[in-house]
Structure 1
Amino acid sequence: MSVVNVSLQVIPVVTEDRIYPVVDKVIEYIQNSGVKYEVGPMETTMEGELSVLLEIVSKAQEICVASGASRVLSVVKIDYKAEGVTMNEKVYKYRK
């Protein structure tokens, strides 16, 4: 399968002072997953095989609940082309 991009925004339903610590646990999981990723102010974008990235999305929900969230709202965006798509091809001209 080709390389795709998946962006994930998790919004754990916790008290306001717990939002960042819960999101940080999800980002730590993504960091340790071995996939290429970029953290943005509103979402984290990952690059890799679709099945691997969707597994990360699934695990992110579990991490939030295990961290005390009573509910998790997630926004997932998938950029898929049969020949593959990279983050770099979309943003290289904006990088310094």
Structure 2
Amino acid sequence: MAHPSFSRSSRFRLSILSLSLLACSAARAQQAPPQAPAAVASAAPGLHMIAEIQVVPRPAGTADDRYRHVDAAIAVIQASGLRYEVHGMGTVVEGPPEKVWPLLQAVHHATLEAGAERTLSIIKVSSSAQAGGPRVDDLVRKFRK
């Protein structure tokens, strides 16, 4: 049921806006991806990124292997050579942005390649404009037993 504070015309305008945004997103996705400027790409080494990814494939696995599609995503992270921590609701990865960004895409696609009909990835990213930046250990050390 719609929220009572939204009138029928407001809901209609929001629906039209949502459809317009969806159409723009689809059109943009069909275009070639933009290339990073050379100056930005050469400045990336030394920068550090922390990312958390949660994949939600449908189905999550098969009758024989309940989490097969999720496990395929984690295997891609394990093979990356980057530092990572698997948690119950997602996996945290850290490293240089030029390695983390492609890894996030590969993790998303791994679920589909493993046989999922569809997948949703929820990604959180933290980075700094300065070299270095916090590490996962820096952020959670005082909370670990």
**TM-score normalized with structure 2 length:** 0.61
Counterpart of 2:120 in structure 1 is 73
Runs of 4+ in structure 1 over 6 Å off: none
1:16 Cα deviation from its structure 2 partner: 6.0
CA separation of 1:19 and 1:56: change in aligned 2, threshold 3 A: farther
Percent identical among aligned pairs is: 31
Question: Could you list the per-position Cα deviations for residues 36-58 of structure 1 after superposition, in whole angstroms to 9, with x for gaps in the alignment?
Answer: 00011101000001121111111
Structure with higher Rg: it is 2
Counterpart of 1:38 in structure 2 is 85
Relative to its length, the structure with more strand (as a share) is 1
**TM-score normalized with structure 1 length:** 0.89
RMSD of aligned alpha carbons: 1.6
Matched residue count? 96
Counterpart of 2:20 in structure 1 is none
Q: Which has the higher contact order (CA 8 A, sep 6+)?
A: 1
Verify: 1:11 aligned to 2:60, yes or no: no
Question: Could you list the per-position Cα deviations for residues 40-83 of structure 1 after superposition, in whole angstroms to 9, with x for gaps in the alignment?
Answer: 11010000011211111111122111111121101000011123
CA distance, structure 2, for counterparts of residue 78 and residue 19 of structure 1? 28
CA distance, structure 1, for counterparts of residue 91 and residue 61 of structure 2? 20
Task: Could you tell me which runs of 5 or more consecutive residues in structure 1 were left unpaired when the two chains were aligned.
Answer: none
Task: Could you tell me which runs of 5 or more consecutive residues in structure 2 were left unpaired when the two chains were aligned.
Answer: 1-43
CA separation of 1:4 and 1:37: change in aligned 2, threshold 3 A: same
Counterpart of 2:19 in structure 1 is none
